[in-house]
A and B are shown apart, each in its own frame.
Chain A
Amino acid sequence: MKERIGTIALLVLLLASCAPKEEAIIISPEDYHSSVDKVTEVMIHDIFSPPVASRIFAYPNVAAYQILAQKHDDYKSLAGQARDLTEIPAPANPEVINYELAALIAHIDMSKKLIFSEDRIETYRDSLYAIWSDKNETVFNASKAYALEVSDHIGAWMDGDNYKQTRTMPKFTVNSENPSRWQPTPPAYMSGIEPHWSKIRPFVIDSAAQFKPLPPPLFSMEEGTDFFKEVKEVYDISQEITAKGDDSEEVAIAQFWDCNPYVSVTRGHLMFATKKITPGAHWIGIVKIATRKTNSDFAKTVYAYTKTSMAIADAFISCWDEKYRSNLIRPETLINEHIDDSWEPVLQTPPFPEYTSGHSVVSGAAGITLTSIFGDNFAFDDDTEIPYGLPVRSFKSFNAAADEAAISRMYGGIHYRAAVNVGVKQGRDLGQFVVDNLDMN
């Protein structure tokens, strides 16, 4: 009896495989979210600094978006808009292609090019490939072929952004003779990361220096000067909020927006890192929240990711340009030297110069971009950090979230007020430029 069932099952299987299925392959926005999440996860594992991470988000989204723009009249191609981008090839047999599927495959393939641990993406990809291929091999193969062709096109464009060249440029040299200059900070005293990021080709803005902010207050550790007041303010705020305890609102805000991809912990010979998502990744998480909340369709979802990730990438280029121009010393170094040698910031100081605050610039830019897509006063519950043990926080608008992200850096003890205030403005100006200059829909 059992044997017979087995034989029948086998026969059915055989039959099934003989006649290819022609089911529709439905690609939902959730499938795209899932791919973005996968890249985020691999990025955390591989450890990418915030600027590099922003680049890894942007290019795969552009690839996906460009494919969708072939199909949807509502969305306009970025060719000629994004710097140096030429039109992707048209599909050979458009009638067979599932554009959503091709967009998703291009996203996965571009992502694989950008991260280190390719096997992690491959495992994910191959399981999806198996499902799609099973459903409709013809459509799958055609869509995949097209996706990979586009991925090559976008990949070639990406390779011209000076990233490879910046890998071999000089390391940052610490200037220990000038007291205003950035010094590596505890506990790992890492070298300044990405000192040449301003040389990366931006997506939309004219040049890295287009939104060059005002210089920071003139360095002086004499009491009464603006600069000293700012240093003291960081210290005072920190003392005040840590006195209130870990449950205080300010500490909660600082930790919520920490977004440090590599917090090194050393205990004797024992060293390890706690790793989280980057500031850019947090805002990518907010894109997901907003598209879900609005039940956005696949195309709008990709559009939102693409526009936001391009703004974020440009924000990092703009911010890093200023960071290594002003090359300003972090509060932790000055406070330890001048005020309190045992003071530690609530957050670990990240390894690059202080001015302006990266999170502020990026949040400013992302807030403006998201507002342009979903409107102002878009209230949302931000659960992006739940996987990292942090709670949900609620915001009444994207710009309100950006304001909180900016001020969190002062609560965290890693930025002065000027870097936060000027930074968020720098980001918003840049975001507005991106919104004004990109004609996507």
Chain B
Amino acid sequence: MNRILSIFFGSLLVASCAKQGDLFKNPSPSETGIQFENLLSESENLSILDYLYFYNGGGVAIGDINNDGLPDIYFTGNQVKNKLYLNKGNLKFEDITESAGVEGQSSWNTGTVMADVNGDGFLDIYACAVVGINGFDGYNELFINNGDNTFTESAAAYGLDFDSYSSNAAFFDYDLDGDLDMYLLNHAVHTQNSYGKYDLRFERNYETGDKLLRNDSGKFVDVSEEAGIFGGINAYGLGLAISDFNLDGYPDVYVGNDFHEDDYYYLNNGDGTFTESLRAYFGHTSRFSMGSDVADINGDGRPDLISLDMLPEDEVALKSSEGDDNIQTQRLRINEFGYHYQFTRNMLFINQPDGNYLETALMSGVSATDWSWSALFGDYDQDGKQDLFVSNGIPKRPNDLDFINFLSSDQIKSKIDNTKLVDQEALGLMPSGTASNYIFKGTEGLGFEDMSTSWITNDTLISGATAMGDLDGDGDLDLVTNNLFAPARLYINKTDAQRNYLNLKLNFSEKNQFGVGSKVYAYTNGKLQFKELFPSRGFQASSEPIVHFGFGNSTQVDSMKIVWPNKQFQVLKDVSVNQTIIVSPEGTKPFSYGQLTPAANPLFTKIPDSLGLDYVHEEDIYTDFNREKLIPYQISDQGPAVALGDLNGDGYTDIYFGASKYKSAKVYIQTDSGFEASYYPELVRDSIKENVDAVISDFNNDQTMDILISSGGGDFFGESEELLDQLYLQNDKGFEKQELPKLFQNSSVIRPYDIDDDGDLDVFIGGHTLTSNFGVPIPSQLLINENGQFSEQKGFANNGFRGMVTDALWDDWNKDGQTDLIVIGEWMSPTFFENRNGQFIQVQGIELNGLWQTIEAFDIDSDGDKDYLLGNWGTNSKFKASTAFPMKLYRHDFDNNGQIETITAMEKNGTYYPLESLDGLSSQMVVLKKRFTNYKSFAGTTMDGLFPEEVLSQATILEVNTLHSGYLKNNNGTFEFVPFGPELQLSPIKDFVSDDFDGDGNAEVLIGGNYFGVKPYHGRFDSFPGALLENEEKVTLGNQLGLDFTKKSIRHLKIIEFKGEKHLLVVFNNDRAQLYKYNN
């Protein structure tokens, strides 16, 4: 009877513990025998208050220590002892820690890796430790595998017995001498009483600095200094990713540093040294960098990278946590302290042929996974696309704003001693930071789909180090997480035979038998999958040293190319799927890494000295957000203005650059040999104005070229003369100012056209904003020219059109023989005006509000009529908009103080939330401080909860329905909006220019973009490399065209002739202008 009962209870237990997701099940500890649990106990002298990484957790490594074909698992613990579990098959594990002798001696272990350090074909175990603070003793231990399920701790003999603040390590052969060397990742702990400048990294510190150890016949020698590895006291190293990022055969290193220190991107020079190159190739990185991982996610044969941070997706956590710096603090950190751009969210970097990266985390959907530790790419559903698992959670959120501002103080009032300010009671007031782990399914086009609620069971685990391997031998990838305050969790993959796989075990050379550093290229049906074998991945962990591929329904791999670490390769043909194959070097041939970067045959060549065109635009320091604290983006950085024309009448095209506020405009005169700056005192005298656009033309028919300039800049307000657009008429003596109708506004574009057919140019002037009135649509003007005298065409002025205009295009869109007008702008739809004998009538157009930036006519579908390309904000942004759920801008004097405020709101899970934090909103509306006396009460507040209905209903609401750039496809006179593909949604598109660049007889369109005028919360739209658009299908990114656009913000693309040949002139905001020649 008793027995029956216990069986009954036993099965109940099993049933209740074996949780199931659609893709992964979680067998219970009692089923598997894996009881390891990383329990922490806080004490008077040891808590997160004493040790900032108290909650970072232990490590986990998967590998087959006895070569029985079953991968085993090793866990490291912080205050609990390490454990080794031998895989007995059928997901049963045996704790052999004691007999194996791998329990460890150190007080506080962190990361762990398995690697065959001595090259005997058996995996050894390296366990990192934090030693020398908080009373922690011990050292990093190296357990050498005796080959009989026992180990001998031998760190000292190998020179790896470091007693420092280690997070993790990676074994790989950086010098390609055949044996495994080691990178040791350490972390800083110094109190942050001052940031310290970036150059702290140059001064080596034993405890906190990273180390590179070269394996010299079994003895590891510290070569950090000579190899160019930083080892300062400001590097909080948490992420370590090894990959041959630049595909030269030598493994490179990406180090993710927490806090203010930049991440490090060490490119291996191949001569035993590295060059830290972050700034050269990354426009920005994650800020509180944690774990990272590398995989080729878009099948282009280049390794891509994710670096994790701690941005919450959940509104409550988001709005009650400390976020990004404010803009002034960020400037200080960058300009004064010398750090790089860093933002608080995950970053996904897509590796490009020119070494730069497209940063796509926002549009890829993986930017916010809360307090994240480990990222692991793997094809979990075996469909041929890389998926992504992210572990997360923290027991206490120390960045909780209420804790920072309110709770802590109440607790510590009577305890002034600086070292013991906060006690256990205060700790209890920090909110819990548990969030369910995330899993994403890789899709086409750089996107990831969040499958967290279906593929895995929802959890409240605090999961850190994670490793993967095929634990049950069924071919698919299983995962193990090391958790705080909970048993380690196995995620057993249930894909099984539904989709096909192939596993490779590599058997390379004597000292590197597992083939660490090998590359595998698999081709099926014309599709490439590329993988590298570097088992140290994720966070404080190493995964099983195998290479796993999913192939969906393909039953055969057409060919596989294995490139060994020694740069030899071999090819396997027609490999059957659903098996594990062991590959040894056989019939290898030398591999040419040069072939991976195809011979450069770019369309454009940058002219180094730009033929004397040394124009550098300098933006002034005006910050819109200091005045209008809540506007969604700046309006003050739309310059410089550029105009081309033959100013001196010598038959060559000259260039006018209008500058930002208080900077002088510049004119470059074209000569036989290039361009020369020329001085025009009349223009310099007006340098107080900020020029946004300019046109050179002979406006008064006196056979000399004049200049018309639109002014903006967002700073001058009211009826400031500095806001007036300006006409400079040229005569023998120089330029003379000519009155224009007084438009006290921030103008945008000038688009000239001879409306009245009298031989001189009339102009459309776009009105964007009245200073300090962001979001109020204003009129634009048609100015009719009579011999240099401009007057407003009243009919147009009175037609009621209002907008935040950014661009306009004269084009006969209705094909009636009269040139019509299309006007675009922000928070509005493209607006069509029909030319009826010189009167412009607004007609029903397409209803699609965007943040439209630029328009160009182009027959993209080659059907003989003109389509209209439209540059928008792009989707790689924290802005979110759709027709069903538009992004909204509320304008109203919400606090009744005579000043209008703007509140941007976006939808999340069907409800609208304000974009800004409580601090942001209350900096403009102090009344909210009374409504919300703490952050908790504000967090999760919807727009409806922010203000009563009677107040909200009085607000003017502007909307955006799409952020996609795309084109209006002309279907016989009706227009349909078609979004561009993902590579053109990376950044705001700021200009198009059309020409036959490749000399094929057809026109193409060159596209430029990027934009930085947003608060740090939004990051920097800096990674769009430009693109050439040939038709609806074909887009080539600028980094394959010889264009240097990445990390710069384009304003104008112009074509200018020099010596009878067309050249491309590229003008940036706050950067040096570039000149390219066409190569065709």
Contacts and interface: CB of A to CB of B under 8 A. Distances in A.
A and B interact physically: yes
Interface of A: 44-47, 116-119, 164-165, 167-168, 170-177, 183-184, 186-187, 189, 191, 264-275, 336, 341-342, 344, 387-390
Given A183-B332, A183-B336, A388-B416, A173 B52 contact: no
A144 B408 CA distance: 37
A184 B337 CA distance: 12
B933 A389 contact: no
Nearest to A389: B416
B414 A271 contact: no
A271 B933 contact: no
B1 interface: no
A168 B897 contact: yes
Central interface residue in B322, B398, B399, by most chain A CB within 10 Å: B398
Contacts, number: 136
Nearest to B411: A272
A271 B404 contact: yes
A164 B930 CA distance: 14
B399 A271 contact: yes
A116 B933 contact: yes
A267 B933 contact: no
B588 interface: no
Given A176-B335, A184-B328, A191-B326, 5 more contacts: A174-B331, A176-B621, A187-B193, A189-B333, A267-B191
A164 B897 contact: yes
Contacts of A47: 405
Nearest to B932: A116
Interface string B272-314: 0000000000000000100000000000000000000000000
A22 to B, nearest CB: 38
B626 A171 contact: yes
A197 B842 CA distance: 49
A116 B328 contact: no
B897 A272 contact: no
Contact of A270 (B49, B410, B413, B627): B49
Central interface residue in B404, B629, B895, B901, by most chain A CB within 10 Å: B404
A388 B413 contact: yes
Contacts of B924: 167-168
A421 B193 CA distance: 30
Interface string B672-712: 00000000000000000000000000000000000000000
B626 A170 contact: yes
Given A184-B329, A267-B192, A273 B336 contact: no
Nearest to A120: B933
Interface string B314-342: 00000000100010110111011000000
Contact of B398 (A167, A173, A270): A270
Contacts of B897: 164-165, 167-168
B749 to A, nearest CB: 28
Central interface residue in B194, B195, B288, B415, by most chain A CB within 10 Å: B194
Given A170-B627, A184-B329, A186-B193, A273 B408 contact: yes
A344 B197 CA distance: 15
A269 B288 contact: yes
Nearest to A272: B408
Contacts of A46: 929, 933
Interface in B376-434: 398-399, 403-406, 408-410, 412-416, 418, 421-422, 426
Contacts of B191: 266-267
Contacts of A264: 404
A344 B422 CA distance: 22
Name B's interface SS.
loop
Interface in B920-949: 923-926, 929-930, 933
Central interface residue in A269, A275, A344, by most chain B CB within 10 Å: A269
Contacts of B288: 269
B49 A267 contact: yes
Nearest to B415: A389
B430 to A, nearest CB: 9
A388 B625 CA distance: 37
Interface string B210-246: 0000000000000000000000000010000000000
Given A167-B897, A267-B52, A344 B933 contact: no
B405 A273 contact: yes
7 A-B pairs with least C-beta separation? A268-B52, A272-B408, A389-B416, A171-B626, A270-B398, A170-B627, A275-B409
Nearest to A170: B627
B193 A171 contact: no
Contacts of B404: 264, 271-273
Q: Contact size class for B?
A: 35 or more
A254 to B, nearest CB: 14
B52 A344 contact: no
B898 interface: yes
B414 A45 contact: no
A398 B414 CA distance: 27
30 contacts: A45-B409, A116-B929, A116-B930, A118-B933, A164-B926, A167-B895, A171-B626, A171-B627, A171-B923, A172-B626, A173-B622, A174-B328, A174-B332, A176-B332, A176-B335, A176-B336, A176-B621, A186-B194, A186-B195, A187-B193, A191-B329, A267-B192, A268-B236, A269-B288, A271-B399, A272-B409, A274-B408, A274-B409, A274-B412, A344-B194
B623 interface: yes
Contacts of B48: 269-270
B511 to A, nearest CB: 40
B410 A45 contact: yes
A271 B322 contact: yes
A161 to B, nearest CB: 13
A44 B410 CA distance: 9
A186 B194 CA distance: 6
B75 interface: no
Nearest to B426: A272
A342 B399 CA distance: 26
Contacts of A268: 52-53, 189, 192, 236, 259, 398
A118 B930 contact: yes
Nearest to A177: B621
Contact of B192 (A164, A266, A275): A266
B862 interface: no
B867 to A, nearest CB: 43
B648 interface: no
A35 B840 CA distance: 69
A47 B404 CA distance: 12
A341 B200 CA distance: 11
Contacts of A176: 331-332, 335-336, 621
B899 interface: yes
Contacts of A342: 194
A173 B626 contact: yes
Contacts of A191: 326, 328-329
Contacts of A266: 191-193
Contacts of A389: 413-416
A380 B622 CA distance: 51
A270 B933 contact: no
A423 B854 CA distance: 56
A45 B408 CA distance: 10
Contacts of A189: 328-329, 332-333
Contacts of B328: 171, 173-174, 184, 189, 191
Given A271-B398, A274-B421, A387 B413 contact: yes
Given A164-B897, A344-B193, A44 B409 contact: yes
A173 B933 contact: no
A187 B189 CA distance: 16
Contacts of B403: 272
A187 B194 CA distance: 5
A188 to B, nearest CB: 8
Contacts of A388: 413, 416
A83 to B, nearest CB: 20
Contacts of B930: 116, 118
B933 A119 contact: yes
Contacts of A387: 413-414
Contacts of A172: 626
